[in-house]
Amino acid sequence: MTIRLIKLAVLYLVLGMTMGIGMGMSQDFLLRPVHAHVNLLGFAVLAIAAFVFHAFPDLARTRLATAWFWLYNIAMPVGLGALALVLNGKMWAEPARRARAHGGCSRQGMIAG
């Protein structure tokens, strides 16, 4: 699981940096919150999780860790996409954004749960 987390973290890092460069070049910062969430919840959280699972390999082998991995990585693109849509004025995406922000797969769930 550690290798998958590192690969996904690097993918989110590249995506976040590309978004930041694109926003800087176009001087359109509407999606700044999406850029921040991609970097923090995508790269930083997954990199820290990879470190934790590398340091505690027995933890990575639990069903809870597997469930967290899949729920988090399914919810991330949904939440980021919904946030982008809401920022672009598509308020019908608000329930998906709220579900991601307050759902059972919160970013604190891995540590506190």
Give the side-chain half-sphere CA count within 13 A for 63: 0
Per-residue pLDDT of 35-53, as tens digits, reads: 999 999 999 999 999 999 9
Regarding pTM above 0.85, the answer is no
Residue 42 burial by CB count (10 A; 0-12/13-18/19+): exposed, middle or buried? Answer: buried
Q: How far apart are CA 65 and CA 69, in angstroms?
A: 6
Angle between helices 2-26 and 63-87 (to 10 degrees): 10
The burial class, CB within 10 Å (0-12 / 13-18 / 19+), for 81 is: middle
Whole-number percent of the chain with pLDDT over 70: 83
Can you give the pLDDT at residue 1? 83
Model confidence pLDDT, tens digit, residues 72-102 = 999 999 888 888 888 888 777 677 666 655 5
